């Protein structure tokens, strides 16, 4: 199997995971509301998930480098499936909190596991495409299948309303569908994912050596490419988080009415479909700019900032949705270029640990963006807090244009990593 075939097959595997995830995500908040949960309680439920992820993020990444990526990935899938089943069987505040603990644990265990396995297996194959192109193939497939999941979610909700099913029963059907997708990914991963590298068995020693492994990963972040990517995340992610989590609030304000229950799923589907197009555009940009990945990321950032300014100035629902979709599209521009830089600047022995540290910083940036909106909206207004986030994100552009992120060959990156 060559690199192109391997990237397509891996994209299908991860795409099935995305299908299950985006089948469920659009209905989580409506589900909590249907359960009779208050806005304050929803905040507590989401906070529990976020705290769980932050606590487990780095330890699970280090553990994956010691006992194997496949083991942790399969456990993460099982936790995700269990979280949906808990929510299906126990539709209450307590059930939701327990479910989000499982969901958060699953998220933390999946980051830096299967992607590390992909990079190592991909690099072992020698043929015509590089990592950026491989990641672009994966992004195209995962976004397309994620869009399919969101569309299915909208369709099921629409049919439930049409045939007058109980709202909570419709959501239960969707939750079971998501759990089934995770079960299928587990079955495929057990058979198809094969690790050439030998890892330790799950012993007490694996856990006692975790601090040392995490320390090694933190030292690896000092790499001139990795720390720059880390800093751009801290600067730019709060903006993305602020808009992704609060755009529905502004949407409802503009419409002066409750949106149709299936509408948010449709928007998810459109943005994910365009994300697959963004992966193709990124390929063309990388070729046009002779693999100067930092400049590709800079173009994506500029598109984000322009979209945010237009979004905040929108006074009609049509323009608001169009510019929100444009913003989401710009978020996907350069994702494969970013992954390429990280993968080639990281040694195999700390690959999962570094990915988890990157994810951990992303979570912190997301928390900051959420707090920026939650606390700043009452003083500045919601859209003005987005402009504050855009001003902060603008500084990431200076880092993207640095020479370290714009080498034109992979050999220089690999040499720096060693």
Residue pLDDT, tens place only, 292-328 = 999 999 999 999 999 999 999 988 888 999 999 999 9
Which pair of structure tokens corresponds to residue 375? 């606390």
pLDDT at residue 13, rounded to an integer: 95
pLDDT at residue 333, rounded to an integer: 93
How far apart (Å, rounded) are the C-alpha atoms in residues 14 and 36? 34
pLDDT tens digits, 180-196: 999 999 999 999 998 87
Structure confidence at residue 264 as a pLDDT band (50, 70, 90): confident
Q: Percentage of the chain surpassing pLDDT 70?
A: 92
Average pLDDT over residues 174-178: 96
Q: Whole-model pTM above 0.75?
A: yes
How far apart (Å, rounded) are the C-alpha atoms in residues 286 and 4? 17
Query: Taking 90 as the threshold, does the pLDDT of residue 410 lie above it?
Result: no
Neighbours of 202 (CB within 10 A): 13
Average pLDDT over residues 159-187: 93
Structure confidence at residue 202 as a pLDDT band (50, 70, 90): low
pLDDT at residue 203, rounded to an integer: 53
pLDDT at residue 372, rounded to an integer: 80
Contact 171, 34 (CB under 8 A): yes
102 vs 7, 51, 57, 109, CA distance in Å?
Answer: 29, 12, 13, 11
pLDDT at residue 413, rounded to an integer: 47
Lowest mean pLDDT among 155-169, 188-202, 389-403: 188-202
Question: What residue has token string 């629902």?
Answer: 317
Lowest mean pLDDT among 35-44, 135-144, 194-203, 221-230: 194-203
pLDDT at residue 370, rounded to an integer: 74
Query: Taking 90 as the threshold, does the pLDDT of residue 31 lie above it?
Result: no
Query: Taking 50 as the threshold, does the pLDDT of residue 415 lie above it?
Result: no
For 329-361, letters b (16+ CB in 10 Å) and e give: bbbbbbbbbbbbbbbbbbeeebbbbbbbbbbbb
Query: Taking 80 as the threshold, does the pLDDT of residue 111 lie above it?
Result: no
pLDDT at residue 416, rounded to an integer: 44
**What would you measure as the largest C-alpha separation in the chain, in angstroms?**
62
- Does domain 3-195+206-417 fall into CATH 1.20.1250.20? yes
Contact 214, 342 (CB under 8 A): no
∠113-87-61 over CA atoms, to 5°? 15
Question: What residue has token string 């608001």?
Answer: 320
pLDDT at residue 68, rounded to an integer: 78
Contact 18, 142 (CB under 8 A): yes
Higher pLDDT, 3 or 353: 3
Residue 120, classed as helix, strand or coil, is: helix
When mean pLDDT is compared over 22-36, 216-230, 404-418, the highest value belongs to 216-230
CA nearest neighbour of 23 among 155, 150, 199: 150
User: What is 324-376 written as a DSSP string?
Assistant: HHHHHHHHHTTHHHHHHHHHHTS-GGGHHHHHHHHHHHHHHHHHHHHHHHHHH
pLDDT at residue 241, rounded to an integer: 84
Average pLDDT over residues 99-119: 87
Higher pLDDT, 87 or 202: 87
pLDDT tens digits, 357-400: 888 888 788 778 877 877 787 788 888 999 999 999 999 999 99
Q: Where are the domains of the chain?
A: 3-195+206-417
Average pLDDT, the chain: 86
Query: Taking 80 as the threshold, does the pLDDT of residue 237 lie above it?
Result: yes
Residue 202, classed as helix, strand or coil, is: coil
Higher pLDDT, 364 or 288: 288
CA nearest neighbour of 410 among 141, 134, 115: 134
Query: Taking 80 as the threshold, does the pLDDT of residue 276 lie above it?
Result: yes
Which pair of structure tokens corresponds to residue 165? 């099913």
Average pLDDT over residues 337-341: 93
CA nearest neighbour of 109 among 135, 144, 80: 80
């Amino acid at each position: 199997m060559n690199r192109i075939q391997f990237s397509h097959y891996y994209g299908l595997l991860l795409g099935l995971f995305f299908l299950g995830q985006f089948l469920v995500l659009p209905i989580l908040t409506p589900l909590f509301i249907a359960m009779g949960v208050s806005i304050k309680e929803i905040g507590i439920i989401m906070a529990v998930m976020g705290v769980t992820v932050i606590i487990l993020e780095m330890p699970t990444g280090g553990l994956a480098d010691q006992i194997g990526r496949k083991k942790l990935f399969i456990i993460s899938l099982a936790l995700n499936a269990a979280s949906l089943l808990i929510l299906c069987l126990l539709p209450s505040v307590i059930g939701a909190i327990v479910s989000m603990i499982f969901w958060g644990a699953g998220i933390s265990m999946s980051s830096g596991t299967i992607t590390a396995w992909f990079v190592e297996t991909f690099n072992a194959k020698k043929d015509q495409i590089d990592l950026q192109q491989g990641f672009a193939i994966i992004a195209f497939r995962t976004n397309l299948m994620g869009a399919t999941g969101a569309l299915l979610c909208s369709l099921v909700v629409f049919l439930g309303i049409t045939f007058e099913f109980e709202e909570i029963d419709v959501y239960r059907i969707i939750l079971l569908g998501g759990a089934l997708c995770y079960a299928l990914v587990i079955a495929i991963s057990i058979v198809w994912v094969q690790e050439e590298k030998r890892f330790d068995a799950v012993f007490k020693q694996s856990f006692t050596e975790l601090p040392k492994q995490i320390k090694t990963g933190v030292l690896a972040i000092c790499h001139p490419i990795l720390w720059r990517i880390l800093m751009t995340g801290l600067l730019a992610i709060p903006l993305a988080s602020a808009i992704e989590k609060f755009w529905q609030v502004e949407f409802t304000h503009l419409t002066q009415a409750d949106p149709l229950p299936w509408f948010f799923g449709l928007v998810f589907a459109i943005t994910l479909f365009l994300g697959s197009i963004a992966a193709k555009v990124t390929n063309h940009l990388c070729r046009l700019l002779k693999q100067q990945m930092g400049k590709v990321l800079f173009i994506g950032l500029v598109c984000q900032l322009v979209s945010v300014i237009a979004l905040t100035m929108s006074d009609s629902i049509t323009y608001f949705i169009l510019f929100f979709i444009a913003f989401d599209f710009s978020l996907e521009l350069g994702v494969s270029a970013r992954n390429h830089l990280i993968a080639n600047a990281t040694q195999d022995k700390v690959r999962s640990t570094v990915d988890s540290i990157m994810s951990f910083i992303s979570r912190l940036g997301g928390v900051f963006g959420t707090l920026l909106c939650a606390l700043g909206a009452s003083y500045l207004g919601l859209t003005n807090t987005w402009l504050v986030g855009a001003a902060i994100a603008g500084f990431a552009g200076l880092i993207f244009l640095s020479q370290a992120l714009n080498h034109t060959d992979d050999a220089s990156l690999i040499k720096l990593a060693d």
